Structure 1
Amino acid sequence: MFFIRNKIDYKLMHSIDNNLYKSYRVNIYCKTLAQSTEKKLRSYKGEIHRSLHKVNFICATLTPKAIKRIIELPEVEHISMDSYAFLCGSSVLSANGVRIKGKCSLTGKGIGVALIDSGTYPHPDIETPNNKVKNFIDLIRGYKYPYDDNGHGTFMSGLICGSGYSSKGMYKGLAENSSLYVIKAFNSIGRAYISDLLYAITLIIDDYEKYNIRVACLPFEIMEYDPYNMKIFSQLFDELISLGIIPVVPTGSLGNLEGTITGVAALDNCITVGGLDTTGFQTRPYPYSSSGPAGKSNKPNFAAACVDICSLNSNPNYIPERNGIKLYPHKLEKLYTTYTGTSCAAAYISSIVAMLIENNSDLTFKDICSLLKVASTRIDESPWLQGEGIIDLATLLSNKEKISDKK
Structure 2
Amino acid sequence: MKSLTDPIISSFLKNNDHNVQLPVVIVLHDSCGADHISQLCTVQDSDQPTHHLREVKQFTGRFCAGTIRQLLEHPDVKHIHPDYQVRANLNVATTTIGAKQANQNLGLTGKGITVSVIDTGIYPHYDLIYPTNRIVGFRDFVNGQTVPYDDNGHGTHVAGAIAGNGAASSQYYSGVAPEANIVGVKVLDNQGNGLLSNVIAGINWSIENRLRLGIRIINLSLGATPTTSYTQDPLALACERAWRAGIVVVAAAGNSGPSGTIDTPGYDPIILTVGAANDRNTIGLQDDVPADYTSTKPTVDGFIKPDIAVPGTDITSLLSPNSLLANQHPESRVGPHYLTLSGTSMATGIASGIVALMLQASPPYTPDIVKVRLMESSKFLTPPFVGYSLVTSLFNMTRNYNSLS
* TM-score with structure 1 setting the length: 0.85
State the Cα distance separating 1:24 from its structure 2 match: 2.4
Does the C-alpha gap of structure 1 residues 390 and 237 become closer, same or farther in structure 2, counting only changes over 3 Å?
A: farther
Letter in 2 for 1:34: A
Does the C-alpha gap of structure 1 residues 369 and 265 become closer, same or farther in structure 2, counting only changes over 3 Å?
A: same
Q: Identify the match of residue 372 of structure 1 among 367, 371, 374.
A: 374
- The 8 Å contact of residues 51 and 57 in structure 1, kept in 2 or not, is answered as yes
Letter in 1 for 2:321: N
Letter in 2 for 1:252: G
Letter in 2 for 1:278: D
State the Cα distance separating 1:191 from its structure 2 match: 1.0
State the Cα distance separating 1:220 from its structure 2 match: 0.9
Q: Which residue of 2 aligns with 1:323?
A: none
Helix, strand or coil: the match of 1:265? coil
Per mean C-alpha deviation after superposition, the further-off stretch among 354-363 and 393-402 is 393-402
1:17 and 2:20 matched: no
Letter in 1 for 2:84: S
Question: In 1, Cα distance between the equivalents of 2:252 and 2:388?
Answer: 14
- The 8 Å contact of residues 299 and 387 in structure 1, kept in 2 or not, is answered as no
- The 8 Å contact of residues 372 and 396 in structure 1, kept in 2 or not, is answered as no
Q: Which residue of 1 aligns with 2:24?
A: 26
Per mean C-alpha deviation after superposition, the further-off stretch among 395-404 and 198-207 is 395-404
Q: Which residue of 1 aligns with 2:344?
A: 342
Task: Describe how 1:207-218 pairs up with structure 2 within 5 A.
Answer: 207-218=209-220
Q: Which residue of 1 aligns with 2:172?
A: 170
Alpha-carbon deviations, 1:270-325, whole Å to 9, x = none? 1111101111672111111001333443321111001111000112459xxxxxxx
Does the C-alpha gap of structure 1 residues 312 and 91 become closer, same or farther in structure 2, counting only changes over 3 Å?
A: farther
Q: Which residue of 1 aligns with 2:292?
A: 287
Letter in 2 for 1:125: D
Per mean C-alpha deviation after superposition, the further-off stretch among 147-156 and 308-317 is 308-317
- The 8 Å contact of residues 303 and 390 in structure 1, kept in 2 or not, is answered as no
Helix, strand or coil: the match of 1:100? helix
Question: In 2, Cα distance between the equivalents of 1:297 and 1:186?
Answer: 28
Letter in 2 for 1:47: Q
Q: Which residue of 2 aligns with 1:326?
A: none
Q: Which residue of 2 aligns with 1:254?
A: 256
State the Cα distance separating 1:110 from its structure 2 match: 1.1
Question: In 2, Cα distance between the equivalents of 1:89 and 1:55?
Answer: 37
- The 8 Å contact of residues 89 and 342 in structure 1, kept in 2 or not, is answered as no
1:203 and 2:205 matched: yes
State the Cα distance separating 1:341 from its structure 2 match: 0.3
State the Cα distance separating 1:399 from its structure 2 match: 6.1
Q: Which residue of 1 aligns with 2:44?
A: 44
Question: In 1, Cα distance between the equivalents of 2:170 and 2:71?
Answer: 59
State the Cα distance separating 1:255 from its structure 2 match: 0.6
Task: Describe how 1:148-187 pairs up with structure 2 within 5 A.
Answer: 148-187=150-189
Question: In 2, Cα distance between the equivalents of 1:38 and 1:106?
Answer: 52
Does the C-alpha gap of structure 1 residues 229 and 219 become closer, same or farther in structure 2, counting only changes over 3 Å?
A: farther
Question: In 1, Cα distance between the equivalents of 2:21 and 2:193?
Answer: 20
Q: Which residue of 2 aligns with 1:56?
A: 57
- The 8 Å contact of residues 251 and 300 in structure 1, kept in 2 or not, is answered as yes
- The 8 Å contact of residues 114 and 216 in structure 2, kept in 1 or not, is answered as yes
Q: Which residue of 1 aligns with 2:327?
A: none
Question: In 2, Cα distance between the equivalents of 1:238 and 1:391?
Answer: 29
Does the C-alpha gap of structure 1 residues 120 and 73 become closer, same or farther in structure 2, counting only changes over 3 Å?
A: same
Letter in 2 for 1:274: G
Task: Describe how 1:6-405 pairs up with structure 2 within 5 A.
Answer: 6=3, 9-18=6-15, 22-31=20-29, 32-35=32-35, 37-39=37-39, 43-45=43-45, 46-88=47-89, 90-96=91-97, 98-101=99-102, 103-227=105-229, 230-257=232-259, 260-279=261-280, 282-294=287-299, 295-316=301-322, 334-379=336-381, 382=382, 385-386=383-384, 392-397=390-395, 401-402=399-400
Letter in 2 for 1:57: Q
Alpha-carbon deviations, 1:33-52, whole Å to 9, x = none? 51253456684333322212
- The 8 Å contact of residues 376 and 389 in structure 1, kept in 2 or not, is answered as yes
Question: In 2, Cα distance between the equivalents of 1:127 and 1:184?
Answer: 18
State the Cα distance separating 1:238 from its structure 2 match: 3.2
Give the alignment's Cα RMSD to 1 decimal.
Answer: 2.8
Letter in 1 for 2:266: A
State the Cα distance separating 1:352 from its structure 2 match: 1.2
Helix, strand or coil: the match of 2:266? helix
Question: In 1, Cα distance between the equivalents of 2:385 and 2:227?
Answer: 21
- The 8 Å contact of residues 129 and 163 in structure 1, kept in 2 or not, is answered as no
Per mean C-alpha deviation after superposition, the further-off stretch among 233-242 and 267-276 is 233-242
Question: In 2, Cα distance between the equivalents of 1:95 and 1:310?
Answer: 14
Letter in 2 for 1:24: L
Per mean C-alpha deviation after superposition, the further-off stretch among 146-155 and 273-282 is 273-282
Per mean C-alpha deviation after superposition, the further-off stretch among 334-343 and 225-234 is 225-234
Question: In 1, Cα distance between the equivalents of 2:227 and 2:181?
Answer: 32
State the Cα distance separating 1:221 from its structure 2 match: 1.7
State the Cα distance separating 1:10 from its structure 2 match: 3.6
Alpha-carbon deviations, 1:359-406, whole Å to 9, x = none? 221111232223223432124xx3xx2367776312333566335764
Alpha-carbon deviations, 1:68-98, whole Å to 9, x = none? 4444433234334311111119454135465
Does the C-alpha gap of structure 1 residues 228 and 99 become closer, same or farther in structure 2, counting only changes over 3 Å?
A: closer
Does the C-alpha gap of structure 1 residues 12 and 371 become closer, same or farther in structure 2, counting only changes over 3 Å?
A: closer
Number of aligned residue pairs: give it: 386
Per mean C-alpha deviation after superposition, the further-off stretch among 362-371 and 299-308 is 362-371
Does the C-alpha gap of structure 1 residues 286 and 47 become closer, same or farther in structure 2, counting only changes over 3 Å?
A: same
- The 8 Å contact of residues 29 and 228 in structure 1, kept in 2 or not, is answered as no
Does the C-alpha gap of structure 1 residues 404 and 342 become closer, same or farther in structure 2, counting only changes over 3 Å?
A: farther
Q: Return 5+ residue gaps in structure 1 as ranges.
A: 319-331
